[in-house]
Structure formats: C-alpha cells, structure tokens
Amino acid sequence: MNLEIRARRLQGIVHRVEVSVRQLFPLGITARLTLSFIAVIVLAATANLIARESVSVILFNRPLPAPPVPSIPIPPVLSEPAPLPEPVDRKRLEALASVADRFELASQLRAEADSAASESEYVAAQETLRRSANDYPVGSVAKMTLERAVTEYIERGRLAVRVADQRRAARLEHSKLLQAMNDRLQSTIDGAWKIFGRVLARQSLIQLRVELDAIREHGEKIILGDSVDAGELKALTASENAFVATLASNETRLTSAEGAEWVKDTKADFDELVALRLSLTALNASYNDAIHRFSQNHGSLFAAISTVGSKAHQPTLRQRRSSSPPPPAVEPALAPLLAPSQRAPSPDELMAETAITRVDHHARDLMAAVTAIVLALVTAISILTVRSVVRPVRRMLRGTSTLGAGNHQVQVPRGGIRELDTLAEAFNDMAARIASAHAARRVHAETLEEAVLERTHKLQVLAQQDPLTSLPNRRHLSTLLDNAVERAARENRRLGIYFLDVDNFKNFNDSLGHGLGDRVLMSVANRLEEFADGLGFVARLGGDEFTLVYENAESERAIHETGLRLVQAFQQLLSVDDREFSVCVSVGASIFPEHGSGADELLRAADSALFHAKELGRSRLAVFTPELIESAAARFDIEQGLRRALERGEFELVYQPEVDLATMRVEIVEALIRWRMPDGRLATPGEFLAVAEQSGLITDISKWVLRAAIQAASHWHHGGWPGARVAINISPRQLLDPRFADSLAELLREFALPSSAIELELTETVMQTGAVTIAALRVLQAQGFGIALDDFGTGYSSLTSLEQLPLSRIKLDRSLIASIDSSQRSAAIARAIIDLCEGLGLAVTAEGVERPTQLAWLLANRSIFLQGFLLSDAVPFEEVLRRRAVVIPKLQNLLLSLGVESYPRAAADLRSAASAGGRSAPIPIHRAIKS
Ligand code: C2E
Ligand code: CA
Ligand code: CA
C-alpha cells in the first residue's frame, strides 16, 4: 500500500517534470534529433581530445635503477710475494715486478670502487711497491733510476684513481638528477585522474617521461664509461632534443597545469643533466687516457727494473701478464666491496619496469585521421537518421493539414522507418474512410437538402394557406391586401374590404360536432369564393371569420350594395352532408382610401364595423364610421376595467323582487349584477356585459355571480326567510361548460342550500347551443332547480323553445309588457303566451311593469308574477328583506287604487296572506273593495 502510494507519487513527479521540460523546451522532432546527434558528436570529439591528451599508464613504484657499474675483474689479493727461487737476482726482480703488478691491480680496483677494502689494498700495494723498490739491492745510480720509475708509476696510478673518483662522483650526480627528474614527472603523473586503477595522465607528461627514459637508455653507455659510436650519440642527442622540444611546445599548458616553478625546475634539471652528461663524456676520456698512460708506464717501470736486473725476465713478465687467467666472478670476499646499487637488475625486475603506452607522432596523425573519419561518419549517420525520421513526419504533417483543410483525397507517401510507415499506412486508411464517409454524408446532405427544400416549400405554402379551406390565411392576406392597395392607389380606384363572421357558429360546433363545423366552414368558403368570382379575392382569418377584398369597386355605393348582397347570399340555406343549414353572416366593411391607407388600418376598420354589425343583430351589414373606432377604444377600456374589477372585487349584486299576485307574496328575487367603478359610479350590465361576453371574461364573472347569489340565498334561507328563492341569470357559455352542474352542486353543498332555492334564467339563445345543453338542463331540472326562459316574446322567440326546453317559468320581455296597456296586438300576444304557459303548467313573470295600467291589465290573469319598477327596483343585499316587507303594502295600495273587486282572487289571496302573518299589515279587504 505504502509502496503503491510512493510509486504513484513518483509517477506524478516524473509526469510533472516531463510536462515542465516540454513546456520549457517545446522542441520539434528535428530539433530534438539534431540536438541529440550534436551532443553525440560533441561527446565523441571530447572523448577523442581526452584520449589525445592522455595515455593510459600502469605504474609500478620502483626507483629507477642506478647506472650499472661494469664488473671489473679483480684478481686475488696477492700475498706477500713468495721468495723467488734462485738465482736470487732473478727472483728479486720477479718479486718487484709482481709488487708492481699488485699495485696496478689495486689501483684499477680502487679506481673502479671507492671502498675501504680497495683503499687499504691500494695504499698497501703502493707502500709495498715503494718499499720493494727501496729495498732492491742495486747500486745507488740504478737504485735512483728504479725509485724514479716507481714514483712515476705510482703517480700515474694515483692520477687514474683521482680521475676515476671524479668520474664516479659525476656519474652519481647524473644518476641522482635523472632520478629526481623521473620522480618529479612520476609524482605529477600520479596526481592525475585515476579510473579503475589506470591513470589518465597528460599526454605531454607521458611524452616527457618516455623521452627521459630514452635519454637514460641512450646515455647508459656513456654513464658506464663504455665507448659510444656516432649513431648512439646521435640517438642520445635526439632524445635530449625531443625532451627539450616537448617541454617547449607544452610549456604554456604545463605552466598552467603544474606551475611555472615546476617547468623552471624541470628545465634547470635538464640543463644540468646535459652538462653532467658532457662532463661525464670528458671524464670518461680522461679516465681512459689516465689508465692508458698508467698502463704504458707499467712498461717504463719494467724497463727500469730490467735495467736494474736481467733483461731476460722481461718477456717472462709480459708473458705472465698476458697469460693471466680471466678474472673470476666476484669472489664472496670481495662482494661487500661493491655497492648494492651496482648490482644489475634481475629479469623479473626488468619485467616490472614502468609500462608506458607510447604515442608517437605517427600514431597521433593516425588517430586524428581515424577521428575525422569517425566524426564524418557519425555526422553522416546523424543526418541520415534525422532525415529518415523527419521526412516521414513532415509528410504526415502535410497530409494532416491537407486533410484538415478539407481535402479528403489526400494520401501520404509511404516509406521511412517502420513505425512511421505503419503510421502513414494507418493515416491513408483513415483518410480513405473519411473520404468515403464524407461522400456518403454529401449524398445524405443533398437528399436532406432536397427534403428540406420540399418541406420548406410546403411550410411556406402552409404558412400562407389556411389548411382547412385552402384559402390564403391572415398573414398572406395582409401581403395580398398590401399589393391590392398599391394597385388601387396607382390606378386611383377604391377597395372594399369585408369582414364576415358566421352568426352563432359556436353552436354548430358544439351541437353538431367539430367535423360538421369544419364542413360548414368549407361550404361557407366555397360560397364566398363563388361570390368573389370576378370581384376580388377571399381569405380566412381563423375560426368563423373570413375576409373578402372587392378590388374593382367603382364607388362607395357599389361597395355598400355589394356588402348587402353578400349578407343576402348567406341567407339562402347552405347544404352540408346532404343537410340544409341556415348559416347567416354578419358583415363589417371598410373602404380604401376613405378608411385607411394600409392593410392593417383597413382590416381594423372592417373589424370594428363587424363588431357593430353583431351589435345590431344577426345577418347584418355595417360600414365603418370613425365613431366605431371610438367605441372600439371604449370597449378596450371596459375590458381592462373588467379585469381589474375581477381582481379587486368591484362587482356587486342587487336583487329585484318578483311578486306573486296569486299569493300576494315575495318569495323570489332576481340577482342582477352591478359594477362599482373606481369613480364610485355603479355601472349596469348593459354597459359591460357585451364586452365581458366578447372578451371571455364572462366566465369568471358568472362564477362570481353564482357564488355570491347562492351565498345570499343561503343567508336568507338559514336566516329570517326560509322560503327565499334567488333567480340567477345564466349566460349560454356557462351551460356549455360540462362542469357547470357539478360546480353548482358543490356550491349548494358548501352553503347547505336546497336546489329548490335557486332558479336559473336563460334566454332563447340556449336553444342554439344544442342538444347537449338541453340535456344538461333536464338534469338540472330533475335536481330541483327552477328554470326560467328569460326575455320571452322578443325578436325570434319561437314556440319550439317552450316545447323542447325543460322549463318551470316564462319571463315575458319588458318590450312586450311595455305596450300591453296600449296595443291590442301586444295584449293579444301576451294573452296568448300567458294562456299557453298556463296550459303547459309554466309560471309566468311579467318583466318591466312600470305603470298601474299595465298592472291592471295583468290582473285579468289568474296567476302571474310581477317584476318592475312599479313595485320595486333592484336593491342591495342588505335592503332586500326590508324591501320585501314594503312591496306587498305598496301593491295593496295599487290594487286599491285600481279597485280590487275586479280581481277577487287577489282579494282572497290578500286575506290569506294577512292570516299567514306577513310582516306588513295587510290592508283590510273591505277597505280595499270599498275604495
Ligand atoms: P333581465 O334579465 O331582463 O333583467 C331585468 C332587467 O330589467 C334589469 O336590468 C332590471 O333592472 C330591468 N328592469 C326591471 N324592472 C324594470 C322596469 O320596470 N323598467 C325598466 N326599464 N327596466 C326594468 P339590468 O339590471 O340592467 O339587467 C340587464 C340585463 O343584464 C338583464 O336583463 C340580464 O339579462 C342581464 N344581467 C343582469 N345581471 C346579470 C347577471 O348577473 N348575469 C347575466 N348573465 N346577465 C345578467
Ligand atoms: Ca333576467
Ligand atoms: Ca328579462
């Protein structure tokens, strides 16, 4: 676990380092490879330089051998000369010669080695010789000659010994100097780098060391005193010159590396070494000369001895000298005489001599050439390698950017190193796939584009066309109308714009279903197109609204007449699905240029005119007037006001009593809406209900009325008036709402009110809402609600309503009641309706009873309800009970003033009402009859 965490941390660190290195050196592959190869070349060159400057050496710390001293044959120490055999003279002579020989040998020995033994032998031999000469038994003259010869002989010997000593001293100094120089070089080399026990020293030092060795080797003979030939001397001086040259050529580097002192010392030592070598050469010559003279003097001595003794002995002596046996190897007794340094090195020691890799100029040149070739090869290989990597990569890059630029046909040339070749192959494969995918996509895109174009065209058509009738729609109409206006303006002609609205089209939809409704609209469109043929063009604005543009109108009058013809054209029955329908239209018209200069303005004007036509009644034409615009603005204001009124609760209900003439009681009041406007004025329904209907606000208003009326009824029902009934005006729209009955039941439950306490007032328009509403009405009636047909006897009231609708009451319209006391015709109609209703068992209320004469006429009926200002106007909720109390006395007074005897039933009812204990004391019947 710990390891894992560490490994992950390490990975993270490595990754971060990689990233930062990449950020610091954002190098391309060429740069990287080039840098790497340059690094390799630089490393190779550096290594070569180091190799040139250094040589691997193996060192053995062994001092240089001292110059070997040739062994000198040392004759055996001669003892006192044995007495020569007779003849005495001859023996003595030979003894003297032997003593002289001993001195010669001792001198030579002493010259070769300056040891205590050789010195004492030398001194002893000298003494013996002097003594022997002195003791020699000859005459004084001969003796003088002999002594002179001996003295000279001894002097010669002493000279040779002196020269030999000088030479030895010089030889020792030379050896020491050579050793010192060698030591200095060696210690410097030892201070150099060591790798695996091998020392990498400076080339110049090694060179000097090699040359010093050569000097030693070539100078060996001179040091040993051997004779040297010209060639050997030349080799020695060449070595010396080489040393000087190496020192001179490397002086600067050696000075900087080893110090000026070092160089100076080395130079001084070398100069001294050469001087010593020269003086050794001279001493060698002097020694050889001294020895030669000494040797020659040996002859003079023997000549002197011979003259003193017998001449015959001389050859014998010579013979003896020449036939003396070769000197034996150093005898053990003499071995201590020789210094240890004078021993010759053993073969093993020679093998262990310093091994030095020699680097001569030849090798150096070869190395330089090889190095140059290697560097050239490395460079060439580097360039080739870089090219082999970089070229395919460049090709890939070019291919990628070409592909990126949208050329999918691109193919990268193959070749180069294997991985990049594989990459190129993969790239080509990918490019080929992309190309084929692209081609497929293009084909697909083309197909798609075609489809889109087709759809766009369809959509454009649809956007301009009404899908049901295929007529131009509202959008397209404004374009068409703009063009028509332009043409008319150019040609200075008039345009007639007609807005059509199918009267009560909603009823078709609701009662016959939307399918048939659509077919009705299509038939309307057909008839309109037929009508427009040759006049102009037609459009459908939506719903049951259509527009006709009359393009070739000659005058305002023609436009007016065409509008009327249009209304009439729809008064003929329309056949749909083999059925005949009466489909009337209301038409509003506007005229260019009188009512507007553009399409929008003209359409607005025609719309206002249509609204007015609707207000006038069904199947009407209205032509625009500027006042219509004002009323439209007023309508807009009212609509806004109504919305506010709903939010702020500005509506109120007032209640108008209906007096039952039969019972002389008020058991029912009609709820009538009022709008308490912000300025405090109370607006009547006539001022705002039409706008509420058109704007749809009637739905919310009706809901409020229903609730408020039921609440009031409940209040009275559970209060001081258990028999209270409230008549509520219902708009046809409410009945079309399938949830109407439920919401009604819900309210009754909420206010714990029986359905019998509510009477629903409907107008005949409910007939047009169709079978569904009639069925709903039946349900409501079955639930116990009273159902009254309002405004009966006006306009197009038909008996069919009485037959088909589930009613409990008929309310005779104010317009009919208004003239019953003056018009026999109205009276007859009213009479007939009342009789009919009585026959059908329907209660009848006479609305708008304003005058006692109307009351008088109505008294002729057996049973009727009276509603009108004559008895009471509508009063607020709080007033109702009080008003109810005063209405009956007021009626009684009215009856009295009319003479109640003509209405016996009323009198009887008055009595029963009085006995029931009405709050207002009834007028005693006798008083009424009397008056
Ligand atoms: P309506 O249903 O025929 O209501 C009777 C109308 O006649 C009331 O007018 C009432 O004030 C008026 N009136 C009663 N007696 C007389 C009279 O002797 N002489 C004259 N000239 N008028 C009399 P109002 O309140 O202005 O209502 C007008 C119409 O508005 C109502 O006619 C009714 O159709 C409608 N309406 C009133 N309240 C509501 C309502 O809450 N909902 C619906 N949908 N319609 C309502
Ligand atoms: Ca009413
Ligand atoms: Ca009415």
pLDDT digits (tens, 9 = 90+) for 624-655: 998 988 888 888 999 999 999 999 999 999 99
Is ligand 1 within 6 A of the CB of residue 390? no
- 23 burial level (CB within 10 Å; 0-12, 13-18, 19+): exposed
Predicted confidence at residue 297, as pLDDT, reads 82
Region of residue 504 (phi > 0: left; psi between -120 and 50: alpha; otherwise: beta): left
CB 673 within 8 A of CB 685: yes
Query: What number does the ligand 1 atom closest to the CA of 813 have?
Result: 3
Is ligand 1 within 6 A of the CB of residue 759? no
In this prediction, residues 340-349 reach a mean pLDDT of 40
- Which of 47-51, 518-522, 640-644, 860-864 shows the lowest mean pLDDT across its residues? 47-51
Kindly report, residue by residue over 487-496, the tens digit of the pLDDT: 999 999 999 9
In this prediction, residues 448-470 reach a mean pLDDT of 88
Angle (deg, nearest 10), helices 698-717 and 626-648: 50
Predicted confidence at residue 483, as pLDDT, reads 95
Tell whether the model's pLDDT for residue 200 goes beyond 70.
no
Is ligand 1 within 6 A of the CB of residue 660? no
* Nearest protein CA to atom 19 of ligand 1, as residue: 848
Tell whether the model's pLDDT for residue 617 goes beyond 70.
yes
Instruction: Go through the chain and tell me how many residues it has.
Output: 931
Is ligand 1 within 6 A of the CB of residue 654? no
- Confidence at 391, pLDDT banded by 50, 70, 90: confident
> How far away, in angstroms, is 814 Cα from ligand 3 center?
7
Is ligand 1 within 6 A of the CB of residue 812? no
Predicted confidence at residue 613, as pLDDT, reads 93
> How far away, in angstroms, is 886 Cα from ligand 2 center?
22
In this prediction, residues 533-537 reach a mean pLDDT of 94
Question: Which distant-in-sequence residues (6+ apart) come within 8 Å of 721 by Cβ?
Answer: 881, 884
Query: What number does the ligand 1 atom closest to the CA of 709 have?
Result: 41
Nearest to 233 by CA among 176, 177, 280: 280
Furthest CA-CA distance within the chain: 244
Show the CA angle centred on residue 745, arms to residues 739 and 748, nearest 5°: 140
Among all bound ligands, the one having the nearest atom to the CA of 788 is 2
Query: What number does the ligand 1 atom closest to the CA of 734 have?
Result: 44
Is ligand 1 within 6 A of the CB of residue 689? yes
> How far away, in angstroms, is 672 Cα from ligand 1 center?
6
Predicted confidence at residue 599, as pLDDT, reads 93
Most confident of 420-429, 620-629, 707-716, 759-768: 707-716
Kindly report, residue by residue over 268-298, the tens digit of the pLDDT: 889 898 888 888 888 888 888 888 888 888 7
Q: Distance between CA 398 and CA 420 in Å, rounded?
A: 14
- Confidence at 259, pLDDT banded by 50, 70, 90: confident
> How far away, in angstroms, is 848 Cα from ligand 3 center?
8
Mean pLDDT taken over the chain: 82
- Which of 102-116, 182-196, 533-547 shows the lowest mean pLDDT across its residues? 182-196
Cis bond before residue 87 (omega within 30° of 0): yes
To test the pocket of ligand 1, the residue of 653, 658, 672 to mutate (highest count of ligand atoms within 8 Å of its CB) is 672
- Which of 256-260, 517-521, 726-730 shows the lowest mean pLDDT across its residues? 256-260
Tell whether the model's pLDDT for residue 68 goes beyond 60.
no
> How far away, in angstroms, is 350 Cα from ligand 2 center?
153
Is ligand 1 within 6 A of the CB of residue 682? no
Query: What whole-number percentage of the chain has pLDDT above 70?
Result: 83
Is ligand 1 within 6 A of the CB of residue 667? no
Secondary structure of residue 330 in the 3-state scheme? coil
- Confidence at 374, pLDDT banded by 50, 70, 90: confident
> How far away, in angstroms, is 801 Cα from ligand 3 center?
16
Tell whether the model's pLDDT for residue 247 goes beyond 80.
yes
CB 131 within 8 A of CB 120: no
CB 561 within 8 A of CB 596: no
Among all bound ligands, the one having the nearest atom to the CA of 658 is 1
* Nearest protein CA to atom 45 of ligand 1, as residue: 729
Is ligand 1 within 6 A of the CB of residue 658? no
> How far away, in angstroms, is 124 Cα from ligand 1 center?
187
Is ligand 1 within 6 A of the CB of residue 806? no
Question: Which H or E element spans position 217?
Answer: helix 203-224
* Nearest protein CA to atom 29 of ligand 1, as residue: 685
> How far away, in angstroms, is 629 Cα from ligand 2 center?
31
> How far away, in angstroms, is 627 Cα from ligand 3 center?
29
Amino acid at 672: L
- 753 burial level (CB within 10 Å; 0-12, 13-18, 19+): buried
Q: Distance between CA 710 and CA 677 in Å, rounded?
A: 24
Q: Distance between CA 554 and CA 535 in Å, rounded?
A: 11
Tell whether the model's pLDDT for residue 243 goes beyond 80.
yes
In the beta sheet, which residues pair with residue 733?
none
> How far away, in angstroms, is 190 Cα from ligand 1 center?
137
Is ligand 1 within 6 A of the CB of residue 847? yes
In this prediction, residues 795-808 reach a mean pLDDT of 81
Is ligand 1 within 6 A of the CB of residue 729? yes
Please state whether the predicted TM-score (pTM) of the whole model is above 0.75.
Answer: no
Kindly state the tokens that stand for 513.
Answer: 């279903």
Secondary structure of residue 913 in the 3-state scheme? helix
Is ligand 1 within 6 A of the CB of residue 684? yes
Predicted confidence at residue 311, as pLDDT, reads 42
Q: Distance between CA 111 and CA 795 in Å, rounded?
A: 182
Most confident of 124-133, 328-337, 665-674: 665-674
Is ligand 1 within 6 A of the CB of residue 868? yes
Tell whether the model's pLDDT for residue 316 goes beyond 70.
no
Predicted confidence at residue 756, as pLDDT, reads 97
Predicted confidence at residue 16, as pLDDT, reads 82
Predicted confidence at residue 456, as pLDDT, reads 86
Secondary structure of residue 8 in the 3-state scheme? helix
Is ligand 1 within 6 A of the CB of residue 656? yes
Is ligand 1 within 6 A of the CB of residue 754? no
- Confidence at 761, pLDDT banded by 50, 70, 90: very high
Kindly state the tokens that stand for 258.
Answer: 């080893």
Is ligand 1 within 6 A of the CB of residue 669? no
Q: Distance between CA 25 and CA 906 in Å, rounded?
A: 121
Q: Distance between CA 270 and CA 252 in Å, rounded?
A: 18
Query: What number does the ligand 1 atom closest to the CA of 684 have?
Result: 26
CB 54 within 8 A of CB 266: no
* Nearest protein CA to atom 25 of ligand 1, as residue: 672
Among all bound ligands, the one having the nearest atom to the CA of 854 is 1
In this prediction, residues 612-632 reach a mean pLDDT of 89
* Nearest protein CA to atom 3 of ligand 1, as residue: 791
Is ligand 1 within 6 A of the CB of residue 672? yes
Q: Distance between CA 328 and CA 134 in Å, rounded?
A: 33
Query: What whole-number percentage of the chain has pLDDT above 90?
Result: 36
In this prediction, residues 4-16 reach a mean pLDDT of 80
In this prediction, residues 286-315 reach a mean pLDDT of 72
Is ligand 1 within 6 A of the CB of residue 673? yes
Kindly state the tokens that stand for 423.
Answer: 């990459």
CB 812 within 8 A of CB 868: no
Cis bond before residue 593 (omega within 30° of 0): yes
* Nearest protein CA to atom 46 of ligand 1, as residue: 729
| Long-range contacts from 20-29, C-beta under 8 angstroms, 24+ separation | 29/389, 29/390, 29/393
Kindly state the tokens that stand for 885.
Answer: 């109390």
